[in-house]
A = this chain, B = another copy of it.
């Protein structure tokens, strides 16, 4: 594996996809206003990165003479136009340009590499995969070698044993066949056992829907719940923009609730109540509450007492609780612990028929960070048989999720145990990654907190920090003149001066008049000191220039 080190990481992250959007829809996003803005700005949108990509690479699309083709911005599905995904932001576009500059003219900028702190994609930043997981996946991909003597020398004994077990769970041992639409039953059994071990409450394999990462599961639930723009989903602000994008694509209304930065991005039930009331007064039928715990982009871990209040609120208001729990293994502070919402609800005495709850999990996060494998699942509880039939039908239309992702989801929920041959190396890999992430998080948190006019949340969990910058008036005015959001203005200056790529808070939403940026804790540990010193130096110069 030493042959496969990070020398190319830069080119991958060059294409990283979670970036900035310079505008964020206002509270209770009305489809029309966003649509009007998008359609009316269609001429300027031809300058966006995706278009530039096409223009720069597809020779005959240089001309705009597509006048005889039938699909235009005037007749494309307006919900698609409405959808915003903080993916094609100026900042990453600029970073890609600078990277190209550095390649063509080394020394052309005051830094020699671009440091991508904008996306939760650990293996693109040279994090190595967990060996045991990859051994099992390789053996399941090519079971012909399982019986060969050479295999004993290449693979751990327990990975061989696990591959046999998994193949036994797959009908006909056919890893190349469509599975049951919810995923292979034996793998769902394993996942349900993992959930039981985690929560101390029963889990039913028939409640598990294996999906290609968590995103399709979120879409599936939005598709079920949203029939028209009168259907609303309560979403945190700031939020991971999958939620706003999915709600827009399904034609619903995002009902925002603000996390309270003063209390470490706390989730106040009074805020939920107020926003629900406001939405109802506007005729919105609020269907569900989305909660991201640990938080993205905010990195907080909810306290159990707070989770109980949230469960009570959903129960009382008849809302489906959509629990994004993909960062459940990313908790970095001893005083906080992850509790699944299902565990919390069951411990309050709420059973299957008392509360509708969907938990999303993914193999992309945790300490394994297997983003490219597209594995994940949702655990669906508290829906009537008739509704579960509808969920099953929607899942069936795409046949099934990919089998390697299904296998990996089962491995993540049932890793090697004490006594297994791989246990010690597995535990060392896991501990190495998680402790390094915790150190990186703390170092960056301290560095941000030491900057003039910056306050930074505690790095409790997930993979991000979301510091707030109190920008001087002069900087805000300069941003206005440059026609970009003040935090995008700051991020652009930061990139130009240091090569560090962060995502402006406006891509996630934030209280009006406050400015933030999201920075991952994922760069290689040895690069963190350089990041801190460059950032500190830049910030001082920026403030000196704009303090006014």
Residues of B within 8 A of A57 (CB): 204-206
CB of B179 within 8 A of CB of A71, answer no
Q: Provide the residues of chain B in CB contact with A174, threshold 8 Å.
A: 9, 12, 123-124, 126, 372
Q: Least Cβ distance of A64 to chain B in Å?
A: 7
- Stretch in A81-89, A262-270, A468-476 touching the partner: A81-89
- B175 near A227 with CB under 8 A, answer no
Query: Is the beta-carbon distance between B405 and A402 smaller than 8 angstroms?
Result: yes
Residues of B within 8 A of A386 (CB): 42, 45-46, 51, 72-73
Q: How far is the CB of A113 from chain B (nearest CB, A)?
A: 13
Of A143-151, A300-308, A456-464, A529-537, the segment with at least 4 beta carbons within 8 Å of chain B is: A143-151
* A390 and B12 form a contact (CB under 8 A): no
A545 CB, nearest partner CB in chain B, Å: 35
In the complex, chain B residues whose CB is within 8 Å of the CB of A141: 134, 137-138, 141, 404
Closest to A396 in B: B87
User: Which residue from B53, B122, B173, B397 sits with its C-beta under 8 Å from A206?
Assistant: B53
Please state if B384 and A77 are interface contacts (CB–CB under 8 Å).
Answer: no
Q: Check B50 against A215 for contact (C-beta < 8 Å).
A: no
The answer for the CA separation of A135 and B151 in the assembled complex, in Å, is 13
The distance in angstroms between the C-alpha atoms of A68 and B383, with both chains bound, is 10
Q: Closest B residue to A126 by CB, please name it.
A: B172
When C-beta atoms are compared, the residue in chain B nearest to A84 turns out to be: B393
Residues of B within 8 A of A225 (CB): 71, 76-77
Q: Assess the A179–B15 pair: CB atoms within 8 A.
A: yes
Task: Check if A12 sits within 8 Å of B172, measured CB to CB.
Answer: yes
How far in angstroms is the closest Cβ of chain B from A418?
A: 24
Q: Is B216 within 8 A of A398, CB to CB?
A: yes
Is A50 a contact partner of B177 (Cβ separation < 8 A)?
no
> Which residues of chain A from 139 to 185 have a CB within 8 Å of any chain B CB?
139, 141-148, 150-151, 153-155, 167, 170-181
Measured CB to CB, the closest approach of chain B to A44, in angstroms, equals: 11
Return the CB mask of A521-532 against B: 1 if under 8 Å, else 0: 000000000000
Contacts A174-B12, A353-B68; A403 near B124 (Cβ below 8 A)? no
Please report the C-alpha to C-alpha distance between residue A197 and residue B176 in the assembled complex, in whole angstroms. 27
Whether B353 pairs with A66 at a CB distance below 8 angstroms is: yes
Q: A201 near B: Cβ within 8 Å?
A: no
- CB atoms of B387 and A13 under 8 A apart: no
Q: So how many copies of this chain end up in the complex?
A: 2
Which chain B residues border A396 with CB–CB below 8 Å? 17, 85, 87-88
Minimum distance in angstroms from A452 CB to a CB of chain B: 35
Which of B60, B71, B397 contacts A353, CB < 8 Å?
Answer: B60
Whether B224 contacts A77 by the Cβ 8 Å rule is yes
Pick from B1, B354, B404: contact of A143, CB under 8 Å: B1
Are A393 and B83 closer than 8 Å at their CB atoms? Answer: yes
A28 at the interface (CB under 8 A from B): no
Q: Which of A8, A123, A398 has the most CB of B within 10 A?
A: A398
Is there contact, CB below 8 Å, between A389 and B48? yes
Cβ B143 vs Cβ A54 within 8 A: no
CB <8 Å contact, A171 and B85: no
CA distance A72 to B3 in the complex (A): 55
B12 touches A50 (CB 8 A): no
Given that A57-B206, A69-B356 are contacting pairs, would A134 and B142 also be in contact in the complex, using a CB cutoff of 8 Å?
Answer: yes
Collect the chain B residues with CB atoms within 8 Å of residue A11's CB: 171-172
A124 contact set on B, CB distance < 8 A? 171-172, 174, 177-178
Does chain B have a CB within 8 A of A415?
no
Contacts of A3 in B (CB 8 A): 143, 146-147, 173
- Mark out the residues of chain A between 373 and 411 whose CB falls within 8 Å of any chain B CB in the assembled complex: 373-374, 382-390, 392-394, 396-405
A319 to B, closest residue via Cβ: B70
Once bound together, how far apart are the Cα atoms of A397 and B151, in whole Å? 40
Query: Which of B72, B79, B138 touches A138 (beta carbons < 8 Å)?
Result: B138
A178 contacts B119, C-beta separation under 8 Å: yes
Are B177 and A393 in contact (CB-based, < 8 A)?
no
What 6 pairs between A and B have smallest CB-CB spacing?
A12-B171, A66-B384, A138-B142, A4-B173, A9-B172, A124-B177
Beyond contacts A5-B173, A57-B205, A249-B397: 7 other A-B pairs, Cβ-Cβ < 8 A, are: A58-B206, A61-B384, A64-B384, A78-B227, A123-B177, A178-B372, A213-B399
User: Could you list 9 examples of A-B contacts with CB < 8 Å?
Assistant: A3-B147, A50-B393, A71-B383, A72-B384, A72-B386, A212-B374, A372-B402, A374-B400, A374-B401
